[in-house]
Amino acid sequence: MNASRKRRACLILAWFAATPAAAFEMEMGAVTLNDTFTVPSWTSVTFLDPFDAPPLVFALPTNDGSDPSTIRIRNVTSTGFELLQVEPSANDGPHVAMPTAYLAIERGDHLLPDGSRLLAFEYSTTSFVNRFLSTTWDTRTFPSTFFATPAVIAGIQTMNNESGTPPSTTSSPFMDVGIRNVTTGSLQVTLERAESTAGTVSSPERIGLLVADSGFSLTFVDRFGNSIDLQSLATPTNIQGWDNGCFVNAYPSAFASPPLAVASANTRNGNNGGWVRRCSISSSTLGLTFDEDIDNDSERNHIGESAGIIAASRGFHANFAVELGVVKDVATISDPINMGTDPKAIPSAIVNFTLSVENVGSLSPDSDSLTVVESVPDELSLCVTSACLAAGPVVLDATGSPVPPGVTIGAIEYSDDGGATWGYSPSPDADGFDGSVDAVRITLSGTLSSMSTSGPPSFDLVFAARVN
């Protein structure tokens, strides 16, 4: 549990246990890369919200600018990264501005709220393919198989072999990522150098890979309270070359407006190599073209290739986790001296303490997995009947929640040995209190809802005790 907020010290101590279905961070955002003719520098991006650790980052080059160009990434930290459009050696280096999108995701084998799988990992390699120099592929096996052929997004995360000074000069060696033979259990990957022979690959580059269930379409609420539509797609082999035109594929379902999208080539059917660039985008389709360098010849025709696509309705940062905000408070209700005015926590006083819980995460815990344990100090006797609270001995109050929290009180168990065992049967006195109870455990039934556009689901657990 992430007990992120505490208001003041209380007489009662508590801990929560909640089993999440998954836990990871993901972000998509819009970015316009500098027009490097006028601003010859890398474009810096600050994440919408920091990650706990540097994520993997992916971006899609567009058809802005007629020269062959792809996007390179460097200096990825937990708070941001840099990216630049680069050109191969037959061109001049600088490139016009590119308005596009990026995707950043924490490494790991993740599940989205609908059960769709995202496998994000990286590895280092010096393997590359080039029509004239080398044809070397690496096989990467997934830790477990997908149910169907997935969609793959790929991107180089480093610039370890760069000998040029882009954007003032062309990139040497010019590279993207090559993907082929994607199956439910593995894929082959390499550094894609197409026909550009300038430069050498002597140091490993880190390649980031995002392998996703194809065809998912889900809606969730991000950490800013925005409703997000997220979709994926593995296209047919219908994406041809720059000189052949722009080739559109439909999302699983139409967005309300043109989304943010990233994509990567998932095949390498042509021996010239190449990479995908976005050439159109609408609320229902993404247009891609397969570009080539012109280092060896000027033609940019290409046979059909397929691509992996992930698109979101708007920029977001989501923590797909159970993020419980917890506030504890205590109020003295009455005492035997100050009748009805300014009661004090003196012996025989009655106190109510409230544990307020809200889920600000984009994920719900597993059903019936939320448990709270309260330790009761020697100075207090816990009320164990409904004599103290109308619906007691523990009351769940959700009247202040903007949306139904989805949970109710299930089992209430007591201990007289500090929580070592939970079989104690209370013996209430005439007023409903038991001084032998030194811990109480409440298991909540149902599934705590995730963050809503109306706000975080919340509830209060209210207890009563008597000061000894």
Predicted local distance difference test score (pLDDT) of residue 264: 98
Query: Do 418 and 375 touch, CB atoms closer than 8 A?
Result: yes
Predicted local distance difference test score (pLDDT) of residue 20: 43
Neighbours of 134 (CB within 10 A): 14
Q: What is the mean pLDDT of residues 80-100?
A: 97
Predicted local distance difference test score (pLDDT) of residue 328: 84
From the list 297, 347, 252, 311, the residue with the least C-alpha distance to 102 is 311
Q: What is the distance between the alpha carbons of residues 15 and 373, in angstroms, rounded to a whole number?
A: 5
Task: Provide the residue ranges of all domains of the chain, joining segments of one domain with +.
Answer: 13-20+321-467, 24-319
The amino acid at 265: A
DSSP string, 391-436: T-SSEEE-TT-SS---EEEEEEEEESSTTS---B-----TTSEETT
Residues 6+ apart with CB under 8 A from 171: 72, 86, 87, 88, 162, 164, 199
- Tell me the two tokens of residue 382: 């816990």
Average pLDDT, the chain: 91
What phi, psi does 198 have (nearest 5°)?
-65, 140
Ranges of beta strands (E only) in 213-252 are 217-221, 227-234, 247-250
The amino acid at 250: A
pTM above 0.85, yes or no: no
Q: What is the mean pLDDT of residues 259-287?
A: 97
Q: Is residue 460's pLDDT more than 80? A: yes
Predicted local distance difference test score (pLDDT) of residue 89: 96
Confidence of residue 133 (pLDDT cuts 50, 70, 90): very high
Tokens 């168990």 belong to 413
Fold of 13-20+321-467: Immunoglobulin-like (2.60.40)
Predicted local distance difference test score (pLDDT) of residue 2: 34
Predicted local distance difference test score (pLDDT) of residue 1: 32
Predicted local distance difference test score (pLDDT) of residue 79: 98
Q: Is residue 435's pLDDT more than 50? A: yes
Confidence of residue 342 (pLDDT cuts 50, 70, 90): confident
Predicted local distance difference test score (pLDDT) of residue 19: 45
More confident residue, 449 or 340: 449
Q: What is the mean pLDDT of residues 235-240?
A: 98
Q: Is residue 182's pLDDT more than 50? A: yes
Confidence of residue 75 (pLDDT cuts 50, 70, 90): very high
Q: What is the distance between the alpha carbons of residues 66 and 90, in angstroms, rounded to a whole number?
A: 13
Q: What is the dihedral of CA 252, 254, 255, 257, to 10 degrees?
A: 140
CA distances from 123 to 208, 209, 256 (A): 7, 9, 37
Tens-digit pLDDT profile for residues 314-328: 999 998 877 788 888
Query: Do 337 and 17 touch, CB atoms closer than 8 A?
Result: no
**What are the residues facing 103 on neighbouring strands?**
28, 58
Left, alpha or beta for 406 (phi > 0: left; psi -120 to 50: alpha)?
left
Predicted local distance difference test score (pLDDT) of residue 202: 97
